Amino acid sequence: MRIPQKSPDWQSLVDGLTKQPASDAANNIWMKIVSPSVRAFVQRANEGYSHWDHVRMQSVPEGLTHETAWLAIQLSRSPQRQNLPIEFNGYQQLHYWLPPSHIELISSIDKRAGAYVATRHNNAIPDDNERYLVNSLMEEAIASSQIEGAATTREVAKEMLRSERRPRDKGEQMILNNYNAILEIRERKADALTPELLLNLHSVLTENTLDDPGEGGRFRLPGENINVIDFRTNEVIHTPPPAKEIAGRIQSICEFANQKSKPYVHPLVKAIALHFAIGFVHPFVDGNGRTARALFYWYMLKSGYWMFEFLPISRIIKSAPAKYTRAYLYTEHDNGDLAYFNNYHLRVVERAINDLQEYLEQQQALVQEACDLLENFPELNYRQRVVVQNSIKHPLKKTTAREHQGKFQKTYNTARADLDHLVRLGLLVKKEQAKGRVELSYMPSPDIMKKLKASCNRKIRKRIKHDPVPDRFLQGGLFDSLFE
């Protein structure tokens, strides 16, 4: 990744233009800066919140240099910036401004992530949301770990999490740790942020993944002043504050998270600021990125944005990691202007919500179509159809013949026969119960949807063999597009 160029000191540019006596050239620049063409240029730059590294490569209004065009942009932003009680460097605080494009994004996220995601089926995330939640938690755990270098594939990682098997390598351990950390922040979303909570979260995230296990669950020590390196070029892209400053900075971050901000700071902006602050301070020897992203989720859940449990944001970050790093550097290279990181993060959240809406629509349609396929199984009784429908909605749910018997008020032999027939069809699998218990449990087959499709295709082919239908009904395969 190319490291962005640090922006010019615009205050020095102002000083250079205001020296006495004023020159005609300086007066001409001031007149040009307030002209309609420059105001339009500035407005476009603020829509996407352009950094100097972008502006310096663009054409600028006639009569201005790139430096004076940058001055015009900064003059439009400076009066509207709001300081946050988080130290950036020795003489500046982290600060931000919300241009109209950011306000629009926040408003949209408020409506969609603070309420519900509408689909064409007129449903929000359904009451039986285990399937969606578990999948999203897994996706977030996997992607967040892959950003940090875990090489395990999504398929293998999901198999590990679903089967609860032990990790085979460091990459799988990172994914398991991320999954456990997400479960942890769900349980602790009502707690205040403290250094102890942060250390506990880091301990969960780094268990069995550090070269020195003693580095887990503690802040950097004096002598552990580290740099963030671009491993492709070996360049230093960030030098965190020294270890001696960590305790004070973390205390300020905790106070910012726990107190009601005056003037008001929107919860989404506050969560993004916490994310950036942990990444900037880099309080740990390793695992800072994972901890920062987990803290963002924690604050959003704490603030009542329940839908963030379902948003695997790291998957989007992973698709373009250079943009993620560049958003950090833009803020750092422009004197702590958080609006660059806001600009990136708000768009990532918006895309995650769009992806969730699309996913829900696909899954709800798929479940409905799968239930329709049961019409091709006239030999299944009502009880068995209910079991299959519930298995599609709850892929991790186990049941026993005793539970099935009690639910439908049938004999034990009838209940067991119901479930065993579904096992023979490949729709359920038998599982051993906990040690010391005799009764078997039944759970959905991992590929229950594919088994339904395959069985339906066999039945339809058999039906066609005895009762042919015109070719136009068979083009493309009757059920080929129903399942991935």
Tokens of 304: 């009542």
Q: Whole-angstrom Cα distance, residue 210 to residue 126?
A: 39
Bond from prior residue into 395 cis (ω within 30 degrees of 0) = no
Give pLDDT tens digits along the chain (484 positions).
Answer: 678 999 998 888 887 777 656 567 777 888 888 899 999 999 999 999 999 999 999 999 998 999 999 999 999 999 999 999 999 988 899 999 999 999 999 999 999 886 444 444 444 455 445 555 566 667 777 777 777 667 677 778 777 877 778 888 888 898 888 888 888 988 999 999 999 999 999 999 999 989 899 999 999 999 898 899 887 788 899 999 999 999 999 999 999 999 999 999 999 999 999 999 999 999 999 999 989 999 999 999 999 998 887 787 888 888 888 899 999 999 999 999 999 999 999 999 999 888 888 877 776 776 777 778 888 788 889 899 889 888 877 777 788 999 999 999 999 999 999 999 999 988 999 887 656 556 789 988 888 888 888 877 776 666 555 555 444 333 333 223 323 2
Helix 267-281 to helix 100-113 angle (10° resolution) is 110
How many beta carbons lie within 10 A of that of residue 412, not counting itself?
12
Query: Considering only CA atoms, which of 38, 2, 42, 53 is closest in space to residue 340?
Result: 53
CATH match of 83-362 with 3.40.50.970: no
- Looking at this protein, which amino acid is placed at residue 321? P
Tokens of 51: 């950094």
At the topology level of CATH, where does 379-473 sit? Arc Repressor Mutant, subunit A (1.10.10)
Tokens of 353: 């919500």
Domain spans, the chain: 10-80, 83-362, 379-473
Fold: same for 83-362 and 379-473:
no
Tracing tokens 């250094």 back to the chain, one arrives at: 195
Give the Å distances, CA to CA, from 426 to 76, 136, 344, 359, 378. 65, 26, 46, 26, 17
CB 286 within 8 A of CB 206: yes
Tokens of 291: 């901890």
